[in-house]
Chain A
Amino acid sequence: MDYAFFQAYWWFLVSLLGALLVFLFFVQGGQTLLYTIGKTEQERTMLVNSLGRKWDLTFTTLVTFGGAAFASFPLFYATSFGGAYWPWMLLLVCFVLQAVSYEWRTKAGNVFGHKTFEAFLLINGFGGLILFGIAVGTFFTGSNFTVNKDDLTQLAMPVISTWHTPWHGLEAVLNVRNLLLGFSIFFLARVLGSLYFINNIADDMIVKRSRKQVLRDAIAFLVMFLPFLVWTLFSQGFAVQPDTGAVFLEKGKYFFNFIQMPLVGLFFLVGVVSLLYGIFLGAFSKTSTKGIWFAGIGAVLSVLTLLLNIGYNNTSFYPSIYDLQSSLTIFNSSSSFFTLKVMSVVSLLIPFVLGYIIYVWRVMDKKQIDKAEMDEESVKY
């Protein structure tokens, strides 16, 4: 197993974390539906408590995604976070607001009232999802940065990664394709949120409204995602010359990546079909509560394979449109062979971690949330 193997392995792990994160965004999607699906205080209490038992899983996945990106691709971490300062910072602010909201919302001594913390949950839902999608959109569309390691010994300006717009990342909002992805993630998360409610809450009205909502948001998702997908697959992609490492633009690069990596392409299709089947179950089945699992697995597979597409097969996963040769690949931005190997040993714990998360999820969700539980339970959000 050589250096390239471990670089590919860590790109797989970071992509997997990103994909799981998008699935777990059902929490944020659900938050944006608090007032759409929850029409009474009691219904909203059920929704909040249902999401409240999962929010920190999403949060932890985001933090681990950041930590894994830092550890395995530090040049990406340094360049993107230090350069696209504003979208990342605003995203973090959205998550900071979420962290305390569930726990403090209905506490007796909460001097700001429960509406304040519900507003925080809405900000986290809307802002967090759209900003995340826009930020990830730049992985496909490119950003304005340069990396020059010679600058390290320039005493007056030793910073090696430089961002070349005064907006420090906010300019990504002006790119239509980034916006399409931003809203795709937003509507996908709402679809997943509704499907999760159908699975997790035993309440006829909530389930009925959720099923309706699945369809609405699914249509909006497809309207946003399909143009993004077609545009991305067939427009110019950021290809890498394997011998020299030089980056160049190649038409249809991402489409050919799926063809040249048939397994990745196949799993992408399986993901999309699974996602659509999950949506179908949620929107049209009268009894099935399993839509979240099909849609969830579909979302994970689709996102995972899209991220593998831009990381593998001589592709730049974080391109610079300001200076193509500063673009980042899994080879020029990764940690050392030694560090990747050490962390790979630790990564063997991941199945164990997934195992206890799934076990706890099953134990805690054995019984669906209902009105009676909300009335009886002393500990609730």
Chain B
Amino acid sequence: MGTLDLSIIDWSRAQFAVTALYHWLSVPLTLSLGFIMAVMETLYYRTGNEEWKRMTKFWMHLFAANFVLGIAGGIILEFQFGTNWSNYSWLVGDIFGAPLAIEGIMAFFLESTFFVVMIFGWNKTSKGFHLVSTWLTWFGATLSALWILVANAWMQYPTGTFFNIDTVRNEMTSFSAVLFSPVAMSKFFHTVTSSWIVGAAFVIGVSSWYLLKKRNIEFSHKSILIASVFGLAGILLTIFTGDSSAYQVAQKQPMKLAAMEGLYHGKNGTSLIAFGVLNPEKKVYNDSIPPFLFKMTIPDGLSWLAYHHLHAFVPGVQDLLDGSYLLTMANGEQIKPLTTDEKLTFGRMSHQAMIDYRLAKKDKNDSLMSVNRAIFDATSPYFGYGYVTSKAQLVPNVPLTFYAFHFMVIFGGFFLLFFVLLLYLRRKIQNMKWLLWVGIFSIPLAYLTSFSGWIVAEVGRQPWAIQDLLPTFAAVSNVPVSSIKTTLTIFVLIYTIFFIAIIGVMTREIRKGPESIK
């Protein structure tokens, strides 16, 4: 036994973040473009119009180039739980591993098998079978998203599980509780429907470029129409699921909500920040420096968002760490959550109970075992707090979470207006150069908005790998920092090469245009 090098955690996190972001370059486009081209192929199937087939094939080429990038990133993410988060893998593998295995069995084979038919099967299978294959490829991708998001949601809100003191790990008690947890459902629908915006923006951006170049006019109008309808459906559903996600965060991860809003002191009827600039001087959660240099607010907005009740008390960072408060729920019921001091005490008690239990087990002292088991079972939901040495460790990076959240919301609003405008203007956009340029820039903007969502979700829940159960500090593998730095460098290098390659491949395919499709 020695002492864990703390920089292992930062580098392991950096490696996970970098590989996850690269993976996310591909995934939202797969989830959305897959749907768009399946719709186009369905139109071809029903009308027999070769133009729809050509459109389908064109977008399919771009889909394929992007799809393989997702595969390249995905494999690292899966195995990284073992290579860099081995304690995590043992401690929660009983719950977390199952969705991953099911994802492989149910979704990955579906995607990869029918992807081949979709790309190469045009002349080898019937029209109907090919159409089914295209839909199944998209369905497989979406099903894969379901399972991995169920796993992620469980980390944010561990449910359907108990900490087994004998096996020294968390074990599943209810699969349906894990699968149908409200956080999992919100997360799945919010992530998938928000991904539709990326695909819609991609199709609109490419088509806008054609319109600017005054080529492929008919193709572009049709593509923009389908993408705008799809994008509008996506953003409306995203707003709806975003609202339920925020509600879940308020209930299950109030610290994340406080960071999202830069809220340090709560009150009854808390305002929502529409736009704000944080004060960079504020370094410590309990100093007296005001958190904002500037802010525009919506009165009572946060209370409504968080508790569906205009006068509800929303706790800020300092209330959560140092105070005690009463929460008024939507039905008027009042509850008093545990204070951080209480959770810290429970965390330490659970650690001590585990130590004493295991000693008693070695000594075969049954009565001492049962006493400590009882203490452990009562306090183990706060096991992670046993690793926390100062309350400040429990505060995530507020500026990053705050700005990412507001970027996401503001540009979510932009996309709502954008899709509505495109549907309203229809063919008139052809002569509106500025709007076509906006269309092109909507591609990177959609990605950045999507990334922001993940930053809110993942940075906002720090320091927890598993909420309340396991901080990242206790989740890592004990691998030398030099090794992690080396593998991270290798991945950055490879992914940079891939990024350059895919930009080259995609731009050339777009320049060649749908007319190059045989």
The contact of B104 among A67, A79, A108, A342, by CB within 8 Å, is A67
A60 to chain B: closest CB distance in Å? 5
Stretch from A27-35, A93-101, A193-201, A233-241 at the B interface: A93-101
The SS class assigned to the A binding surface is helix
Residues from chain A with a CB closer than 8 A to the CB of B113 are 57, 356-357, 360
**Residue A268 is within 8 A (CB to CB) of chain B in the complex:** no
Instruction: Determine which of B73, B74, B173 lies in contact with A338 in the assembled complex, contact meaning CB atoms within 8 Å.
Output: B173
Chain A interface residue count, Cβ-Cβ cutoff 8 angstroms? 82
Out of A74, A162, A342, name the residue touching B90 (CB < 8 Å): A74
Asked if A379 and B119 sit within 8 Å, CB to CB, the answer is yes
Q: Does A374 contact B (CB under 8 A)?
A: no
Closest to B124 in A: A364
List A contacts of B501 (CB < 8 A). 100, 104, 110-112
Task: Point out the residues of chain A lying under 8 angstroms from B121, CB to CB.
Answer: 363-364
A357→B94 contact, CB < 8 A: no
- Provide the residues of chain B in CB contact with A102, threshold 8 Å: 68
* Minimum Cβ distance to chain A for residue B99 (Å): 8
Task: Report chain B residues within 8 Å CB of A109.
Answer: 504-509
CB of A92 within 8 A of CB of B79, answer: yes
> Is the CB of B480 closer than 8 A to any CB of chain A?
yes
> Which residue of the partner chain B has the closest CB to A332?
B167
State the CA gap A112–B501 with chains docked (Å): 7
**Docked pose: A151 CA to B171 CA in angstroms:** 19
Contact of B86 among A78, A93, A346 (CB under 8 A): A78
Q: Confirm or deny: A83 has a beta carbon within 8 angstroms of a beta carbon on chain B.
A: yes
Q: Is the CB of A112 within 8 A of B512?
A: no
Closest Cβ of chain B to A275, distance in Å, is 25
Q: In the docked arrangement, what's the CA distance between A152 and B111, Å?
A: 39
Q: Are B478 and A92 in contact (CB under 8 A)?
A: no
* A269 contacts partner chain B, Cβ-Cβ < 8 Å: no
Complex: A109 Cα to B112 Cα, angstroms: 24
**In the bound complex, how far is the Cα of B130 from the Cα of A363, in angstroms?**
11
Query: With A78-B89, A338-B173 known to touch, is A103 a contact of B64 (CB < 8 Å)?
Result: yes
Q: Give the distance to chain B from A49, nearest Cβ to Cβ, in Å.
A: 8
Among the listed B98, B120, B386, B505, which residue makes an inter-chain contact with A343, where contact means beta carbons less than 8 Å apart?
B98
A84 to chain B, nearest CB (A): 9
Of chain A, the residue at the smallest CB distance from B84 is A82
Query: Please, how many angstroms separate the alpha-carbon atoms of A14 and B89 in the complex?
Result: 17
Among residues of A, the one whose C-beta sits closest to the C-beta of B164 is A336
Interface-centre pick from A64, A93, A102, A163 (highest chain B CB count, 10 A): A64
Enumerate chain B residues within 8 angstroms of A154, measured Cβ to Cβ: 1
B477 near A85 (CB under 8 angstroms)?
Answer: yes
| Smallest CB gap from A74: residue in B | B93
Within the complex, what minimum Cβ distance (angstroms) separates A234 from chain B?
33
Q: Cβ of A57: which chain B residues have Cβ within 8 Å of it?
A: 109, 112-113
Please, which residues of chain B bring their CB within 8 A of the CB of A156?
1-4
Q: Does A244 contact B (CB under 8 A)?
A: no
B172 at the interface (CB under 8 A from A): yes
Contacts of B119 on A, CB cut-off 8 Å? 379
Tell me which residues across on chain A come within 8 A of B108, comparing CB atoms.
60, 63-64
User: Which of A174-182, A221-229, A253-261, A347-355 interfaces with chain B?
Assistant: A347-355
Which residue from B114, B116, B474 sits with its C-beta under 8 Å from A158? B474
Q: Which of A259-279 contact B (CB under 8 A)?
A: none
Chain A nearest CB, measured from B455 CB (Å): 24
Bound-state Cα–Cα, A53 to B46, Å? 28
Shortest CB-to-CB span from A75 to chain B, Å, is 6
Which one of B76, B87, B90, B173 has the highest number of Cβ atoms from chain A below 10 Å of its Cβ? B90
Contact of A100 among B491, B498, B507, B508 (CB under 8 A): B498
Map CB proximity to A onto B353-370 as digits: 1 under 8 Å, 0 otherwise.
Answer: 011001000000000000
Q: Is the CB of A158 within 8 A of B87?
A: yes
- Closest Cβ of chain A to B492, distance in Å, is 12
Give the residues in chain A near B72, CB-CB below 8 Å.
96, 99-100
Q: How many Å lie between the Cα of A78 and that of B97 in the bound state?
A: 11
24 contacts between A and B (CB under 8 A): A53-B120, A56-B71, A56-B115, A56-B116, A60-B111, A64-B104, A66-B104, A71-B93, A78-B88, A92-B79, A93-B494, A96-B73, A103-B64, A108-B512, A112-B501, A153-B355, A154-B1, A158-B87, A160-B168, A335-B93, A339-B171, A356-B110, A364-B125, A378-B517
Q: Beyond A78-B86, A109-B509, list 10 extra A-B contacts (CB 8 Å).
A: A56-B116, A57-B113, A59-B71, A71-B97, A100-B72, A152-B354, A161-B87, A335-B98, A343-B102, A360-B114
Task: Give me the 6 closest cross-chain CB pairs, A-B, nearest first.
Answer: A74-B93, A109-B508, A82-B86, A81-B82, A71-B97, A64-B104
